[in-house]
Structure 1
């Protein structure tokens, strides 16, 4: 049975404004570092950068790998920090997350783990692409059934699909082995829905904006950098990028178009350990 969505009183003619944060990799210890970067400090710097912009988003989308150490405290840290934005935050799990712990410890009046969100003329579907115990992803048939049922329930709304894993290869051979295993099938099936306008994910710690040509026009594919370390694009071996942590803003128009831009922390404060061979 299709569960009830979380609904927002945004007029169908209005733009829906979103901020996406992804892959913070937080620890129980707020001083802990991942490959030379304090993930708590970099996450806070991203939030401060957004707040300083004075942009007024309607919702936050947090697209997984909230935790690096599977600790209850890491989820509690996220919940406390994201509350400073004072807007609703919808989250989904990544391969570094424990969904049970997320549900228990990502608590607060503005935190939601439901998969369906209705806002303006849009339906946002938060998909679970994780496979327990594996870094790579796979979209189970029950997620396809959710998409189909949700679209049938709201056939006149545009759809944004949100997940953790990349359904397309990003030309990093070491990283692409951990993609969504049935990503090509996923895209082919989504291309048959005229309502689906965009796909949004994290996981690969870099920024990509491209398109997939569907039967009813192009679907926007949007990949967002991590709020901590960045992976070097188009590298055949594990390599870190010196680009700063970032986030993505999206504006979903009532006509189905999507305007989006990635923003990064200014300066060069967060420098990774370039001698690292993996994590």
Structure 2
């Protein structure tokens, strides 16, 4: 049985405006660093960059790897950090998260772990692609059932599928070992639904905007930079990029189309340790 959705009412024909944040890798301590980057400071810089734009977002999507150390404090730190934006936040787990600890401590006004969101004539499904104890992902059959049942229940809504792991390879050999292992099957199955208008994820710490071919309109596929370190694209071995932390804005139009763009913190304040061989 489908669980009830969180609902946002828009005026007729109004565009739904979303912010995606992903992979902040926070610690219990505000001084925690990941490969030379203070992740609390980099998240704060992303949030301040977003706030300075005065973008009239309706809600935020946080797409996993909120924590780096699995602590209750790391999740509470995220909730505390985003409060000043005044945006509802919907989250899902990544491979660095402990889902039990996450659900217990990602708590606060307007913080939601439900898998279904209605906004205007869109349905957003927050999917769990994690596999306990493994960095790679898998879309379990129960998640496919959720997609099928949610679309059957709301056939007139456009649908955005949101997850943590990448269903496509990103041509980084070391990183593609940790993709969604049934990503090809996932895309083949979900692309059959005309209601599905896009796929969105984190995990890969880089921006990707591609299309999956299908009959009719191709399916937009989108990955978003981390709010901390960035992985160098097209690298066969572990390598960090010089690009700054970022986020994604999405506009879900009433006709089912998606307008989106990635933005980054200006300047060069966050420089990771490029001698690192992994994390």
1:270 paired residue number:
270
Is 1:109 aligned with 2:112?
Answer: no
Is 1:196 aligned with 2:193?
Answer: no
Please, which moves more after superposition, 4-13 or 258-267? 4-13
8 A Cα contact 1:11 1:121, kept in partner? no
8 A Cα contact 1:129 1:137, kept in partner? yes
| SS of alignment partner, residue 260 of structure 2 | strand
1:213 paired residue number:
213
* Distance in 2, Cα, partners of 1:89 & 1:12: 23
8 A Cα contact 1:191 1:216, kept in partner? no
Q: What stretches of structure 1 move > 4 A for 4+ residues in a row?
A: none
1:159 paired residue number:
159
TM-score, normalising length: structure 1: 0.99
Deviations 1:209-251 (A, max 9, x none): 0100123321100000000000000000000001000000000
* Distance in 1, Cα, partners of 2:214 & 2:118: 23
Deviations 1:122-157 (A, max 9, x none): 000000000000000000000000000000111001
| SS of alignment partner, residue 220 of structure 1 | strand
* Distance in 2, Cα, partners of 1:59 & 1:251: 11
| TM alignment of 1:1-279, pairs within 5 A | 1-279=1-279
* Distance in 2, Cα, partners of 1:10 & 1:73: 35
| SS of alignment partner, residue 211 of structure 1 | strand
| Number of residue pairs the alignment of both structures matches | 279
TM-score, normalising length: structure 2: 0.99
8 A Cα contact 1:95 1:136, kept in partner? yes
Deviations 1:174-228 (A, max 9, x none): 0000000000000000110000000000000000101001233211000000000
* Distance in 2, Cα, partners of 1:185 & 1:93: 21
* Distance in 2, Cα, partners of 1:64 & 1:12: 32
Q: What residue ranges of structure 2 are gaps of 5+ in the alignment?
A: none
Give 1:12 shift. Answer: 4.2
* Distance in 2, Cα, partners of 1:182 & 1:98: 22
* Distance in 1, Cα, partners of 2:71 & 2:12: 40
* Distance in 1, Cα, partners of 2:66 & 2:257: 29
